[in-house]
């Protein structure tokens, strides 16, 4: 498939970022915007740079501060224009000239920048005097170290279709980050991307998909999570349709809903309840595999958290039970989605090594746990690393 080589190359390079990579590809085809929220040093910039390089698109990136001026993003005022009593900007090499835009610390935009961004993101239009008109923007990716609380940027937050909360890579995969390198070895030409975008409008939307989306909307509204008419339409006509194009299908299927929680959640704490509703209504092998993997990784992360609080509390039985459950989940994943099975094997391998270091356990390749002399574990022997948020695996 056209997008497979790009997706595979990115996922091999950026571990535990599978969903974000899938969303970036869907966003590029569906002309959607993506927001990444998380601390610095989580690879947000590197991933977006690689995505831009692999797509062959004209790119623009900038780090915003409260002192950033419109000239820095949109170009300087033309002196020649002023001589002729005209006011317009020279946009060459600036945001209005780019297909792929990355704005770091996007919510630090001041009012003058904010208004122009809202119009550019929603209408693909830039007010530039005599040269006003539509701009080639496909996808704007924003990043921020924290979720905005200021109501003045609420409209900008709403313009981002996908929202991801990015955490540091887990201890199980950090070796891949330390020893790996960023290599761009697959490409998607602008012509191929444009061709894919043109197919989005022709994707058929089955009636049962519409009914399930209405049910999702109804159940989430009862939980205090409203879905606007505009966002629901974008979910169907842009996000799910683009997902079908990437899969080289002519109609939407239930599996195209696997990123739906990230199109609906406004807060990280809402992701779990939204996922429960969405995946309780939409059901297919991809979604079942997603649920299984996320559920197990949630338990693993809880284990890591408890060890961080009290390293001496871990027991042979608790680790063995965790690994035995992992084996059962792994067997199911191998039937549902082999890529998810591979991801779980990596995490289980890390768990075995973690357990050995932490509590002096002898963990065999079969997953069975044998007790060696069980020493008291000193907190000094534990090397903390932020565990992965399961919704971002």
3-state secondary structure 13-24: HCCCCHHHHHHH
- Same domain flag for 65 and 179: yes
- Same domain flag for 277 and 357: no
- Cβ-contact 51, 40 below 8 angstroms: no
- Same domain flag for 144 and 18: yes
Give me the residues paired with residue 134 across strands: 125
- Same domain flag for 120 and 157: yes
- Cβ-contact 144, 107 below 8 angstroms: yes
- Same domain flag for 175 and 34: yes
- Same domain flag for 10 and 141: yes
d(CA 14, CA 26): 17
Q: Which of 263, 282, 301 is the last residue of a domain?
A: 282
Q: Which of 158, 193, 228 is the last residue of a domain?
A: 193
- Same domain flag for 41 and 175: yes
pTM for this entry: 0.81
- Give residue 182's pLDDT: 66
- Same domain flag for 206 and 178: no
**pLDDT tens, position by position, 149-194:** 888 899 999 999 999 999 888 777 777 777 766 666 667 888 899 9
Residues 6+ away with beta carbon under 8 Å from 47: 10, 14, 17, 20, 21, 24
- Cβ-contact 74, 91 below 8 angstroms: yes
- Same domain flag for 88 and 173: yes
Tokens standing for residue 337: 């989605």
d(CA 367, CA 14): 27
d(CA 227, CA 20): 22
- Same domain flag for 16 and 97: yes
Q: Which of 260, 282, 304 is the last residue of a domain?
A: 282
- Give residue 61's pLDDT: 93
pLDDT tens sequence for the chain (393 residues): 778 888 888 888 888 888 999 999 999 999 999 999 998 888 888 888 888 888 778 899 999 998 999 999 999 999 998 988 899 999 999 999 999 999 999 999 888 899 899 999 999 999 998 899 999 999 999 999 888 888 889 999 999 999 999 988 877 777 777 776 666 666 788 889 999 999 999 999 999 999 999 999 999 999 999 999 999 999 999 999 999 999 999 999 999 999 999 999 999 999 989 999 999 999 878 888 888 888 888 888 888 788 778 877 777 677 788 888 999 999 999 988 888 888 888 788 877 776 676 555 444 444 444 444 433 333 333 333 333 343 343
d(CA 64, CA 253): 39
Q: What is the DSSP string of 250-302?
A: SB--GGGGTTHHHHH-SSGGGHHHHHHHHHHHS--HHHHHHHHHHHHHHHHHH
- Same domain flag for 30 and 146: yes
Residue 321: domain span: 286-392
Tokens standing for residue 241: 């349709």
- Total domains, the chain: 3
Give the domain CATH number at 184: 3.40.50.300
- Give residue 180's pLDDT: 67
- Same domain flag for 251 and 313: no
């Amino acid at each position: 498939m056209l997008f497979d080589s790009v997706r595979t190359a990115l996922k091999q390079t950026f571990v535990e970022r599978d969903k974000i990579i899938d969303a970036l590809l869907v966003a590029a085809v569906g002309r959607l915007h993506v927001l990444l929220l998380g601390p610095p040093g989580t690879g947000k910039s590197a991933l977006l740079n690689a995505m831009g390089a692999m797509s062959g698109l004209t790119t623009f990136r900038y780090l915003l501060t409260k002192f950033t001026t419109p000239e820095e993003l949109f170009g300087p005022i033309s002196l020649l224009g002023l001589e002729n009593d005209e006011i317009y900007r020279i946009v060459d090499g600036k945001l209005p000239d780019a297909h792929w835009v990355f704005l770091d610390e996007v919510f630090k935009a001041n009012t003058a920048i904010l208004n122009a961004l809202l119009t550019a993101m929603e209408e693909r239009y830039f007010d530039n005097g005599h040269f006003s008109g539509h701009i080639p923007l496909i996808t704007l990716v924003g990043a921020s170290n924290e979720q905005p609380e200021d109501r003045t940027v609420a409209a900008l937050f709403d313009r981002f279709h996908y929202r991801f909360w990015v955490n540091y890579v887990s201890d199980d995969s950090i070796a891949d980050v330390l020893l790996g390198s960023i290599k761009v070895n697959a490409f998607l030409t602008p012509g191929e991307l444009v061709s894919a975008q043109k197919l989005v409008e022709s994707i058929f939307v089955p009636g049962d998909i519409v009914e399930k989306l209405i049910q999702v909307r109804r159940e989430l509204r009862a939980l205090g999570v409203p879905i606007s008419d505009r966002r629901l339409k974008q979910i169907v006509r842009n996000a799910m349709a683009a997902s079908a194009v990437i899969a080289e299908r002519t109609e939407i299927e239930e599996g195209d809903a696997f990123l739906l929680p990230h199109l609906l959640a406004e807060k990280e704490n809402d992701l779990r309840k939204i996922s429960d509703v969405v995946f309780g209504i939409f059901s297919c092998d991809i979604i079942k595999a997603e649920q299984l993997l996320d559920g197990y990784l949630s338990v693993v992360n809880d284990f890591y958290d408890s060890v961080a609080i009290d390293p001496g509390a871990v027991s042979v039985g608790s680790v063995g039970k965790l690994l035995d459950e992992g084996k059962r989940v792994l067997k199911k994943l191998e039937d549902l989605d082999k890529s998810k099975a591979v991801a779980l094997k990596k995490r289980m391998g890390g768990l075995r090594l973690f357990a050995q270091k932490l509590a002096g356990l002898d963990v065999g390749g079969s997953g069975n746990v044998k007790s060696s002399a069980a020493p008291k574990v000193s907190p000094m022997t534990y090397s903390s690393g932020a565990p992965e948020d399961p919704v971002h695996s």
